Structure 1
Amino acid sequence: MIDGRLLRGERTRQAVLDTAVSLASVEGLEGLSLARLAQTLGVSKSGLFVHWPDKERLQLAIVEHARQQWTDLIVRPALRAPKALPRLWALHEHRLAFYEAGTLPGGCFFAAVGAELDDRPGPVRESVAQANDDWMRLLTTIAAQAVERGELREGTDVGQLAFEIQALGEAVVVHAHLLRRESGYAYARRAVLDRLRALATDPTILPEA
C-alpha cells in the first residue's frame, strides 16, 4: 500500500514546481526563493525545506521540471508524427502551440532563464545549457534522418536548419510577449514551413500553409 503521506508530499512537490516554472518564465530564477513560492502557494516556508534545503537545489529541480514539461507537451506529441520530415515540422508546430496556449505566463521558461544565466557559471547554468543543447541535438538528428530517408535534399546543412528552426521559435516569444504582436506565431509557422518545403524532395508530405 502506498503511504498517503508520501503521495501528499509528492503532490505538494509537483504543485510547487509547477508554480515555480510559471513564475520563473516571467521573473527568472535568481529572484525566486522558497519564501516567494510559499507566499504564492499559501503554504509554510519550513514545509518546503523538506524538499529543497537550499536555493541551488531548488533551482536545479525547477529546471528539470521545466525540461520534463517541455518533453511531455512538445517532444512526445511531436514524435508521434511519421518519420522524419513530418516529425521535424511537428516539433516546431507543437512548440508554437505550447506558446500560443499560454501554458506559461512568460511564454518560455528556457528563453527567460537562458538570458539570465548565460554569463553565470555553475550547475544551474549548465543544467539549462544541457536542456537547450539536447533540444538542438534532437532537431539536428531528425533533420539528418530526413536527409538519410531522402525526404530532404542531399547536402542539406542540418545544423544550419536546426539553428534556423530554433531561432524562429525564440523570436516568437519576443514578438508575442515583448512587442505584444500575435502575428509572430503565423510568421514563424510560415517561415519554417516554407524553408522545409523548399528543401523537401516531396513537399506534399508537409502542409501547404
Structure 2
Amino acid sequence: MSKLASKGEATREAILDVAIELAREVGLSALTIGALAERASMSKSGLFAHFGAKEALQLAVLRAAQARFDDAVIREAFKAPRGLARLRELFQRWLAWAAVQPKPGGCLMLAAASEFDDRPGEVRDFLASQQLAWLAGLARTVTFAIEAGELPADCDVEQFAFEIFGLILSTHHHVRLLSDPAFIQRAESGLSRLISAPPRRSA
C-alpha cells in the first residue's frame, strides 16, 4: 500500500470513529454527511468523497462498528478453549460491549436494529444479515460445547443460541433504559440456568 493510500485509509478510519460516536448519540437514521462534517470539522465535499450519499455513510459506519465488535468480542473470546469456557467468555465480552460500556447509546448495531427493523432497504438488510451471523456464531459455540461433552448431545443448538441472544438483548435494555444495577447478576444467572437446564430437541 502506498503512503498516500495508507494516509487516506487512516483518515477514513478516524472519520468513522467520529461517525460511530455521533450515531450512538443521535441514532443512525440521524447520521448525515452534514452532521458528521460539523462534528469532524471537515467539509461536506470532503466527506462525500469518502462515503457518497447518506445510506453509504450509514453502511460504512455499521461495517466499521462490526469490525470493532469482531476485534473486541469475537476474536478475543475465541482464544478461550472450545466448550463452556468459550461460551462464557463470549457472553461476558458481549455484555461488556453492549451494556457495560459508558459511552452514549451502548451497542450501535442493537440500537440501529430497533431503528430500522421496519424500514426496507440496504441498511435493514445489512443489520438482519449481520445479526443472523451473530446467531450462527453463538450456535457454533454451543456446538463446540456439545462436542466437548459439556452440554448434552440432544441440546437444541438453535434454541440455546436464541435464548443467549435474548439475555444479551434484555441486558442491554435493562442497563441502558431501566438503569438496573443488578443487570450483570441477572444476566449471569440466566446463562447459568440455561447451561444447567439446556433446551433439548424433541424426539
Mark yes or no: TM-score above 0.5: yes
Cα contact 2:99–2:176 (8 A) shared by 1? no
1:180: which partner in 2?
179
Q: Matched residue of 1:57: which SS?
A: helix
RMSD, matched Cα:
1.7
What is the alpha-carbon distance in structure 2 between the residues aligned to residue 99 and residue 197 of structure 1?
Answer: 25
Deviates more, 1:176-185 or 1:70-79: 176-185
2:58: which partner in 1?
59
1:205: which partner in 2?
none
Unmatched segments (≥5 aa) in structure 1? 200-209
Q: Matched residue of 1:153: which SS?
A: coil
Q: CA-to-partner distance for each residue in 1:43-83, whole Å, 9 max, x for gaps?
A: 22211111111112111111111111110111011000001
Counterparts in 2 of 1:100 and 1:128: CA distance versus 1, 3 Å: closer
**Higher RCO (Cα < 8 Å, 6 or more apart):** 1
Q: Which amino acid aligns with 1:2?
A: S
- TM-aligned CA deviation for residue 163 of structure 1: 0.8
1:125-204 correspondence runs (5 A): 125-199=124-198
- TM-aligned CA deviation for residue 31 of structure 1: 1.1
What is the alpha-carbon distance in structure 2 between the residues aligned to residue 164 and residue 59 of structure 1?
Answer: 29
- TM-aligned CA deviation for residue 110 of structure 1: 1.5
- TM-aligned CA deviation for residue 194 of structure 1: 3.0
Provide the TM-score with structure 1 as the length reference: 0.87
Q: Matched residue of 1:182: which SS?
A: coil
Q: Which runs of 4+ in 1 moved over 3 A?
A: none
Q: Matched residue of 2:50: which SS?
A: coil
Provide the TM-score with structure 2 as the length reference: 0.90
Q: CA-to-partner distance for each residue in 1:139-177, whole Å, 9 max, x for gaps?
A: 011212222332101211111111111111111111111
Unmatched segments (≥5 aa) in structure 2? 199-203
Number of aligned positions between the proteins: 198
Identity %: 38
